[in-house]
Structure 1
Amino acid sequence: MNTLLWTFYGIVTLWSIISIILHGSRPTKSLSWLLAVVLLPFAGPLLYYLFGVNRRKFKFFRLKQTEKRKLFDEKYKDIHELENSVDFHSAKNKKLSKLIENGTLLKAYAGNKATVLNGGKETFESIFETLEQAEHFIHLQYYIFSEGELSERFYNIFKEKIAKGVEVRLIYDSFGSSSFRGNTIKRFRDLGVKAFPMMPIRFGSLLFTLNYRNHRKMIIVDGKIGFTGGVNVTDQYIKPISDLGIWNDIHIKLEGPVVKSLHRVFIKDYYFASDEELLLKEKYIPKIEQKGNHTIQIVAAGPDSKQPAIMQQYISMIMLAEKCICIANPYFIPSTAVLQALKIAALSGIKVSILVPKISDSKMAKLSMFSNFEELLAVGVNIYLRPDFSHSKMILIDGEIASIGSGNFDYRSFEHNFETNALLYDVELTKSIQTEFDTICNNYIPLDYESFKNRPVWKRLLEGMAKFFSPLL
């Protein structure tokens, strides 16, 4: 029996090593998986099969649903109106917007009104006020939709609105919303909420879907008002339910033509989650009047995308910056390309500031994040640690362009998750966000390179070990 078991282990391990060599996308990631496979008997090959197989090149792109998602983009790319689309005069804006348009089929639109929402209290007050004014439909998509005070408030609003004929549709991630099941989800469905999991974790599809999660957070009301950002539906945003206290975050309310882009992302995801209910009637895609003077572009990407648009967006913004770069992110575990872009920017005399939480909901992610700090500090990057847990995902450049959304600075957001950002081409709006960013940073002393370099050896060892696994996080 032992001989048979070890023979099986040897075959599986050999298959894993050959697969890593043949299909590995980057040497650093391949090395991490090779170490995991060799150092973790049985568990290593299993983890690689679940999370490491490059399904973009290997299996995932041959899945029936993924091919249909790609065809959906091509077939329905013309649902956008050319009216209100923008032809930028600024070379910087033009270059960035064209990159996103070519990679995602989503244009930049003028005539919008964007309202930045800071923290859970402000975000949910605005969301609930908007939901209560819904007349035709409410569409929601969340990575985490968990049972609690907030979900109960949603339930009561849905109950009232459905009784008045308003349609409610909800997509949730089956991993992030693992508590949203059984009697909890039955209550919502019994009201008339059309609720579906995105890429549900089932035995038959476990090996092909577990590593690819829907990390988006958005709401569209009547096709005219939208919300997106980093805030999930969990009581962590309104009361302390762990040692991390109340989570901080940033969200954005959108009104105007760009809402159609955000809704297009939902329509595509709902089409597949609901077994192909297509929401392309005029009722769901109304003509949207201009609401303000903000120019905005939605950035959406996932493992089915032709291009890693979130990573490309971040790299492009870093390389286009001329004066300053401001980044706030809870999981700052950049790819080699992003890390090098930041170092080049700093060495070119651009002021680079990174704001991250001192505490984290993931010890491995925190260690991996800290493992990159020394080489960034060495080239003059300013790194600030805030004492509370901030879940914000934001990048600003030159006080001219800002991005707020769900995309982290890590491999998972770049390659494995479905993400959505809102890209704001507006000086006044960006400067107001940067003022808030600077105010927070000014409250704390940036990390000192010499002090950080001399941190205890045991910390450096733990960070070094975590860094090996950073491509896997």
Structure 2
Amino acid sequence: MFGRRKVVSSRPVAERNQFSTRIPGADTLVSRTQQLAATMALPAASSYHSLNVHEDGAQALQALRDMIDGATHTVDLCTFVFAHDGIGDEIAQSLKRRVRDGIRVRLLVDGVGAYLGGHPDFSSLRAEGVQVVLFVPPLRSSLRGRTNLRNHRKLVIADGRWMWCGGRNLAAEYFEADAASRSGRLPWIDLSFDLQGALAQQAQQQFEQDWKFASRDAFPVPSPALSQAAPAGEAIGQLIASGPDQVDDTLYTLLLSGFFVSRRRIMAVTPYFVPDPTLLMSLTLAARRGVAVDLLMPKKSNHRLADLARHRALRELTAAGARVWFLPRMIHAKAVIIDEELALIGTANLDERSLFLNYELMVAFYATTDIQRFAQWIERQQDGAVAYQARPVGLWREIAEGLLIWLAFQL
């Protein structure tokens, strides 16, 4: 609410213009997105292969195990929550074992998320040789005034060539149906993926930047070879880092641009929907233009205040013709697909905290076949959803919602 929300300075116009060379190709959503990303100095689109979209927590966990066990040189993990539970403890033991195998292992955990995870035993990890750093711990950080800027990125990289990313924290409810059922709750639904190639090299560089910021220590890695054309058999994707370490509000800018130029369909999945007025307007205008706008979210999330704050926006959306779908269980996935030409998948929610305060990481997918895989995953989840029905609200409810929206940055 107070203080600066950026840790980098604004870029002069002349410097910004050096990134504005026009991306070759037709005037498509893909070319416009890449052009806009270039003006914000984001890494150029790069190639990847072997995309694995995790259908559920079991597949996501197995992919994570395979990455850690298959690494031959390095394993780097960045997460918001590293829980002291069955999943967190299993991963911790795997990391210790890989250190004993001679693998360099680093673990970057958000300073607030570490407390949310039930105080995992980082000391035993360090004793075994795992390098552990907390990102801006709120009570011990020298970066005073920045403790509200949290690292919400979730990223695992093996050998700088294989990346795992998405909405899942390293905690049982994101992977195990058994853990959720023992607590009396339905298991959470989330979306993650892994892939290999040059795009993973870009992710490695992003991890290095976050590690250097949090630890004041840099580990040199080769710069990734970036190209606009994919090798034969490989697709093109783009790493979209968003947050205080970016001059621009990168993801927010790309979302606005995509929503305003959308022509056919917008599919969005988010656990929390508390948009600012401009983002909400871009979605309502798309719906009024005849674009099919579908928003999938949980009927009841794990953040009660966010659930209360979302209703004004949902009423405006549905009044414009958008369709809002409620799942009877918690869905924590973060995905936006526009016209099946662009998919943004990763860690950012459609709320002001994710878009303006948190360090977030999304991947822009441009390959039609891969976008369709994500779209089909969303449609499968939507099968069990019910349509949101807006209801009239009284004066006091309007006032309460207004207060919550005013505090949206903190939700």
TM over 0.5: yes
Equivalent of 2:100 in 163, 167, 180: 163
Match of 1:340 among 276, 281, 306: 281
CA deviation vs aligned residue, 1:16-65 (integer Å, no higher than 9, x gap): xxxxxxxxxxxxxxxxxxxxxxxxxxxxxxxxxxxx11414xxx64xxxx
Partner of 1:53: 2
**Closer, same or farther: CA 470–158 of 1 in aligned 2, 3 Å:** closer
Query: 1:128 and 1:111, CA in 2 relative to 1: closer, same or farther beyond 3 A?
Result: closer
Alpha-carbon spacing, 1:183–1:371, altered in 2? closer, same or farther (3 Å): closer
Q: 2:153 aligns with which of 211, 216, 229?
A: 216
How many residue pairs match? The answer is: 397
Offset of residue 208 of structure 1:
1.2
1:132 aligns with 2:73: no
Quote the offset at 1:290 in angstroms.
Answer: 5.5
What is the distance in 1 between the residues matched to 2:322 and 2:152? 29
* 1:364–1:350 CA distance, 2 compared to 1 (3 A): same
* C-alpha contact 2:297 2:327 (8 A) present in aligned 1: yes
Flag the structure with more relative contact order, 1 or 2, with Cα contacts below 8 A and sequence separation at least 6: 2
Aligned ranges 1:73-472 → 2 under 5 Å: 87-89=24-26, 91-178=28-115, 184-202=121-139, 205=142, 207-237=144-174, 238=176, 239-240=179-180, 242=183, 244-280=185-221, 282=222, 292-448=233-389, 452-454=390-392, 462-472=400-410
- The structural deviation recorded for 1:413 is 1.1
Superposition deviation, residue 471 in structure 1 = 4.1
Where does the alignment leave 5 or more consecutive residues of structure 2 unmatched? Answer: 16-22
**Distance change >3 Å, CA 325–CA 204, structure 1 → 2:** closer
Identity percentage of aligned residues? 24
- Could you say what secondary structure the match of 1:178 adopts? helix
Long gaps (5+) in structure 1 = 1-51, 75-85
Structure of greater Rg:
1
RMSD over aligned Cα, in angstroms?
A: 2.8
Question: 1:439 and 1:229 mapped to 2: Cα distance?
Answer: 18
Kindly state the Cα deviation for residue 189 of structure 1 after the two structures are TM-superposed. Answer: 0.5
More helix by share: 1
**Offset at residue 117 of structure 1 (A):** 1.3
Q: Deviations over 1:85-128 (max 9, x none)?
A: x8544522111012123214311113433221133221111110
Contact 1:255–1:291 (CA under 8 A) maintained in structure 2: no
Q: Which amino acid aligns with 1:446?
A: A
Once residues 383 and 162 of structure 2 are traced to their aligned partners in structure 1, the CA distance between those partners, rounded to angstroms, is 34
User: Which one-letter code corresponds to 1:174 in the other structure?
Assistant: G
The answer as to whether partners of 1:223 and 1:286 remain within 8 angstroms in 2 is: no
- Between the aligned partners of 1:447 and 1:223, the Cα distance in structure 2 is 43
Kindly state the Cα deviation for residue 351 of structure 1 after the two structures are TM-superposed: 0.6
Q: For the Cα contact (< 8 Å) 2:202–2:224, is it kept in 1?
A: no
Q: Any conservation in 1 of the 2:266–2:293 contact (CA below 8 Å)?
A: yes
Kindly tell me: are residues 99 and 183 of structure 1, through their superposed partners in 2, closer, same or farther at Cα, counting changes over 3 Å? Answer: closer
Instruction: Give deviations 1:298-325, integer Å, cap 9, x for gaps.
Output: 1002113110011112112212321000
Indicate conservation of the 8 Å contact 1:173/1:213, yes or no.
Answer: yes
TM-score relative to the length of structure 2: 0.88
Query: CA 1:311 to 1:242, structure 2 compared with 1: closer, same or farther past 3 Å?
Result: farther
Residue 15 of structure 1 corresponds to which residue in structure 2? none
